[in-house]
Structure 1
């Protein structure tokens, strides 16, 4: 049985000599460059044939420069790079002008505003929702990066923007704890009922015990998400280099293969590549 081609929908690249990352100083394990060449060497060996760069929460003045940096890398020969998911600030009155510039560049495939480390009420501001609604009909999804206890706020944003495509990062299980697991299970079912939301099988491994995790620790989060969303609304992402906090890219990918061993070739192809091609209009 042949393995599907893989599109990594959640790659982070860090170039500290070109961009500013204010949060890195507080995360010693990640406070280093994460350059394309190091990623590509391992990714190619794993069967990755394409990747989308996910914004890395650079300093706000560097948001557009980050996307340009990734595009420049692609032009210079970083052949796995198929596009960039740009950071954005929907709470800003400058968002419409920013969006107009971004929509003029086909390399920018989508947008994200990290919500797990900002005040909970940010996404409830009228200007935030009004600006996210501007993505309707653009073919550019909005990634949601929230903690399990924030899934109700994510639902509120989704319902306020029914014509926008959303992608729920990391199974919506970022930093999940035993006490939050019941909340996550209930909320993830609610999110999956919204037809304009896809789920990203990514990131979960980074929040496990680096020395003691097993496949059994991933199963309660990955399998229900695939079951709830269905094979047409799930995509795969490495979350490299964040995944290296507890596993290499190779190990995380092997774990995903193990978790989906019972799926058909067609179902696995949709998870690992087909859905990403459709959702972000990726060619090749």
Structure 2
């Protein structure tokens, strides 16, 4: 069984996605039906929807749309990670509304699309600290040079569980291992940070191979261990690096030397425990 902790769905007729106009490869509808047709065959039994950086005035609408879609997903979509704006003074009121909805399991604010110092603002940090005790997680989507800022957030909110998306976004295509390995190991020293094995096929070259991925995976495993690692498809972004089947095949190959217990942790058990998923 696989729990996909990073599924994106795109419905352009229902929500506004300003960034799509600059990303023609993804400027299309990516529906649950299309995802499920392939995902079920690959052993994905449950998924969390990850926010898709919708327009700010569509943030709460996105959660409502995904919850509606989840109702028709035969129990596959079991929750959502919602978009948010922690830099806003309106965040506390938004948080209280979200806490009334158990479908939302956490938040994400994509930080590599805003100035580096956004996460250093007092309001941002105070609002992230408000997540302590709520059971809501916070996904960190940062570039390697921003990982130190992500680590600072984890230090300032030790009772909040953070998820480092996409293994910290290494630049595999340009052989960016050395610029990434130190910051990755440093943030892994924070016990309240879990790493997400996701996204990396899109960062490889056009003809990336399993051998290209192995050193990055090995460093993530050495730094975090398998007790703090979860898996995500990053669908449909993964189609830029071969697609869902390719990524799952690569994942199984990377985990081929891992014990069955640790493999189960990465593919499902850690996610189930982290979010208390009903699967």
TM-score (norm 1): 0.96
Aligned counterparts, 1:1-284, within 5 A: 5-175=1-171, 178=174, 180-210=176-206, 212-284=207-279
Partner Cα distance (1:254, 1:77) in 2 = 24
Question: Per the alignment, in what secondary structure is the counterpart of residue 142 of structure 1?
Answer: strand
* Shift of residue 171, structure 1, vs aligned partner: 0.2
The 8 Å contact of residues 30 and 242 in structure 1, kept in 2 or not, is answered as yes
Question: Per the alignment, in what secondary structure is the counterpart of residue 153 of structure 2?
Answer: helix
Partner Cα distance (2:173, 2:26) in 1 = 22
Question: Per the alignment, in what secondary structure is the counterpart of residue 18 of structure 2?
Answer: coil
Which structure 1 segments of 5+ residues have no match? none
Question: Per the alignment, in what secondary structure is the counterpart of residue 78 of structure 2?
Answer: strand
The 8 Å contact of residues 163 and 196 in structure 1, kept in 2 or not, is answered as yes
RMSD: 1.1
Deviations 1:217-248 (A, max 9, x none): 11121221122111110000000000001211
The 8 Å contact of residues 36 and 78 in structure 1, kept in 2 or not, is answered as no
Number of matched pairs: 279
The 8 Å contact of residues 11 and 30 in structure 2, kept in 1 or not, is answered as yes
Deviations 1:9-51 (A, max 9, x none): 0000000000000000000000000000000000000000000
Partner Cα distance (1:156, 1:198) in 2 = 15
Question: Per the alignment, in what secondary structure is the counterpart of residue 116 of structure 1?
Answer: coil
Partner Cα distance (2:173, 2:161) in 1 = 28
TM-score (norm 2): 0.97
CA, structure 1 residues 23+183, in 2 after alignment: closer, same or farther (shift >3 Å)? Answer: same
Moved more, 151-160 or 168-177: 168-177
Question: Per the alignment, in what secondary structure is the counterpart of residue 205 of structure 1?
Answer: helix
Question: Per the alignment, in what secondary structure is the counterpart of residue 232 of structure 1?
Answer: coil
